[in-house]
A and B are shown apart, each in its own frame.
Chain A
Amino acid sequence: MLGHLFAAEWLKLRKRPLTRVLLATFLALLVLYLGLWALVIALQEGALSGGRLRIEVLNAAQTAQIQRQLSFPGIFGAVLGQVNSVGGILAVILAAGALGSDFGWGTLRVQLIRAPARGLYLLAKLLALLLALLCGILAGLALGSLIAVVASAALGLPSSLDGGALLALGPGILRSLFVILPYVLATFVCAAFGRSALAGAGGGLIFLALDVGAGSLGSLGTVSDAVLFVVNLMLQPNINRLVVQNATLFGLDPTVLASGLDLTRLPSLTQATVVVAAYCALFGYSAWRLLARRDVTGAG
C-alpha cells in the first residue's frame, strides 16, 4: 500500500508547477551565489583586466577558500551548503504546499476515502518529498559541476576529482537531506495543525528563522560545560555540526568565511545525528498524531 501511495504522491509532486518553480529558483540562486564568488575572484586576480586592475576584498585564506568552492571537489561542499541554507527554505515551502494544499483544496478527504491509512499517507508524502529534494540536490550538483569546470578553466583554479570525493558524495547528499528533514517535518506539523499551506509555510519558516536565531545562543556555551550541554541539545548547533561535516568532507573550512563559527563548541557528529533524529521523531510523531486524530472536513 505504501508503494501505491508513494506513486500517487510522486505524481502530484512532479506535475506540480510549484515544484518546478522552486527547483528553478534554487538553481538560479546557486548560479548567482557561485557566479558572484567567481566574479570576486576574477576581480581579486585581475582576470577581467588582464592583470592591470585588482580589487582585493578578501585575505589569502578567504581567497583560497573561495577558489576551493569554485573547483572540484570543493564545489560539492559549496552546493550542499546551499542545499542546507536556501534549499531548506525552499523545502519548507514545498512541504507546506504538499500537505497544506490537500487541506485547502479539500483533496485530503478524497485521498483518505480511497486510502484511509493516514500514517501511510503521511509517510508516502514525506518519501515523495525527499525524492523531489534528492532530484533537486542532484540537479544542483550537476549545475555546480558545470560551473566548476568553467570557473576552473577561466580562472585557472587547481581542480582534481578523484574517486574519494565521488564516494563521499553519497554520504554528503544523505546528510544534506537529513539536515533538511526536521524542518520539513516541523512544516508538516504546522500545515496539519493549521490545515492549510499558508499555516505550513508560515510556521515552517518561522521555526527555521527562530532556530537559526537560536544558533547565536551557542556563545553561551563559553559560560560552563553544563550550559554548553544544554545549548547543544537545541537543533541549530547539531545542524551546524552536520553542515560543517559536509563542508570538511570536500576540503572546505567553514570557519574561514563564517568567523563566528567555533567548531570546538559544536557537539560531536554522533550527538548531532542522534539529536537531529530525535527532533525528526518528535515532529514526525506530532504530524502523524495531528493528522490521525483529527476530523477531516471540507476544504479550508
Chain B
Amino acid sequence: MSISSVIETEELTKRYGTHVAVDRLNLRVGRGEIFGLLGPNGAGKTTTIAMLLGLVRPSAGRAVVLGYEVQANPVAALRRVGAMIESPAFYPYLSGYDNLRVLAHAGGLPETRIAATLEAVELTARARDRVRVYSQGMRQRLAIAAALLPDPELIILDEPTNGLDPAGTAEIRALIRNLAAGGRTIVLCSHLLSEVEQLCGRVAILKAGRLVAEGAVADLLRRERGLRLRVEGDPARAAALLAALPWVHGVEQQNGALLVDAPVDRAAELNAYLTRAGVPVAEIGVNTSNLEQFFLEVTGDT
C-alpha cells in the first residue's frame, strides 16, 4: 500500500453461496480525497464498505485501511475511522448524548469530544432528548456526529443526507467539504448523483459487484463530451451532412437535437459547414454530460 493511500483493496471478493456480491475489487483512495462509491441497488457498495469496516469477512482478497489489513488487525485499522453505514442505528431509550457516550466508552475515546461533535451537526439543543423522539433528519445528524467522534482520518458515509431537508442537506454538504478541507479522507455513498458530482473528486462505479468505472469526476465526464446542436430545418439532413465529415465520429439525434462526436474546438468550423450547406444552426455548444447520464450509461440502466 502506498503511503498516500488511505484505503486499498486487492481483488476483494465476497460471495454468498453462488452469488458474488463483490467481485475482485481493486480500489485505491488517496489521503484527503472525497471519494464517491456509486452503483445501483445490489451493486455491492454496502458489502464493500462492510468489508472495509471489518463487519463482513471477505471470501477472497484483502482490504487495507490506514495502513493496516482490516481482517488481521481490525482494532488498529479502524481506530481513526468514523463511519455511518446504512440507516442510522441507535439505542432508542438513550438520549443522543448517551448514545455517543456509549460509543465513546466502547472506543476508549474521551467524553470531551461529544460536545464538539454534537455542535458540528447542530444537535446540542436536543442532545438530552431520547433518540426515540428524534426525526429521521436528527438521527442522520447524530449518526454523522457518531462518525466524527474518534476524530477520524477516514470518514465513510453511506447516504449522509438521507432524510434531511434542503437546508440540512446543504449544511451537511458544507460540513463534508470542511472535513475534507481539514485533510480528512471521505468516502461517500449516495444515490444523489448530483450530490456526488458536487462533492467528490473521484468516483468508482460498481455494477453487480464489479468495478465498471473509476476515475476523477471531471475525467469521466470529459470522455462523454462532444458537441450538441440544433438546426433550423431537417435534422436528418444535417446528420447526414455531418456524418460525411472525416473528423466526426458519430451523430445521434436526441429530442430534436444532434449529439455530434467531434472535437469541441471545431465547433465554429462545423457551424460554417452546415450554414454553407443551407442548414442554418440555431444553437451549438459543448455536450456537457452529467454524472447521472454517465452513471446510467455505464450501469446499463438507460
Is A156 an interface residue when CB atoms closer than 8 A count as contact? no
8 CB-based A-B contacts, threshold 8 Å: A106-B86, A106-B87, A111-B106, A112-B54, A113-B55, A113-B81, A113-B83, A114-B106
Given contacts A11-B101, A109-B89, A296 and B55 within 8 Å (CB-CB): yes
The distance in angstroms between the C-alpha atoms of A247 and B102, with both chains bound, is 39
- A15 and B98 contact, CB distance less than 8 A: yes
Is B150 an interface residue when CB atoms closer than 8 A count as contact? yes
- B108 and A4 contact, CB distance less than 8 A: yes
- A105 and B91 contact, CB distance less than 8 A: yes
Q: Which 3 A-B pairs have the closest CB atoms?
A: A106-B89, A116-B74, A8-B105
Give B contacts to A, CB under 8 Å: 46, 50, 53-57, 74-75, 78, 81, 83, 85-87, 89-94, 98, 101-103, 105-108, 146, 149-150
For A121, the chain B residues whose CB sits under 8 A away are 106
Is A7 an interface residue when CB atoms closer than 8 A count as contact? yes
For A297, the chain B residues whose CB sits under 8 A away are 50, 55-56
Tell me the dominant secondary structure on chain A's binding face: helix
Is A161 an interface residue when CB atoms closer than 8 A count as contact? no
- B54 and A4 contact, CB distance less than 8 A: no
For A12, the chain B residues whose CB sits under 8 A away are 91, 94, 102
Given contacts A4-B106, A295-B56, A107 and B91 within 8 Å (CB-CB): yes
- A8 and B106 contact, CB distance less than 8 A: yes
The distance in angstroms between the C-alpha atoms of A107 and B100, with both chains bound, is 12
- A109 and B92 contact, CB distance less than 8 A: no
The B-contacting residues of A in range 265-298, CB under 8 angstroms, are 293, 295-298
Given contacts A113-B55, A116-B54, A116-B78, A298 and B86 within 8 Å (CB-CB): yes
Is A117 an interface residue when CB atoms closer than 8 A count as contact? yes
Count of interface residues, chain A, beta-carbon cutoff 8 Å: 30
For B89, the chain A residues whose CB sits under 8 A away are 105-107, 109-110, 299
Is A115 an interface residue when CB atoms closer than 8 A count as contact? yes
Task: Select which of A7, A16, A109 is within 8 A of B55 by beta carbon.
Answer: A109
The distance in angstroms between the C-alpha atoms of A299 and B91, with both chains bound, is 12
The B-contacting residues of A in range 220-278, CB under 8 angstroms, are none
For B56, the chain A residues whose CB sits under 8 A away are 295-297
- A296 and B87 contact, CB distance less than 8 A: no
For A111, the chain B residues whose CB sits under 8 A away are 102-103, 106
The distance in angstroms between the C-alpha atoms of A110 and B85, with both chains bound, is 8
Query: Which residue of chain A is the closest to B146 with respect to CB atoms?
Result: A110
The B-contacting residues of A in range 1-24, CB under 8 angstroms, are 1, 4-5, 7-8, 11-12, 15-17
For A101, the chain B residues whose CB sits under 8 A away are 91
The distance in angstroms between the C-alpha atoms of A105 and B90, with both chains bound, is 7
Task: Select which of A17, A105, A106, A113 is within 8 A of B53 by beta carbon.
Answer: A113
- A8 and B74 contact, CB distance less than 8 A: no
- A11 and B105 contact, CB distance less than 8 A: yes
For B78, the chain A residues whose CB sits under 8 A away are 113-114, 116
For B149, the chain A residues whose CB sits under 8 A away are 114
The distance in angstroms between the C-alpha atoms of A280 and B199, with both chains bound, is 52
The distance in angstroms between the C-alpha atoms of A111 and B92, with both chains bound, is 15
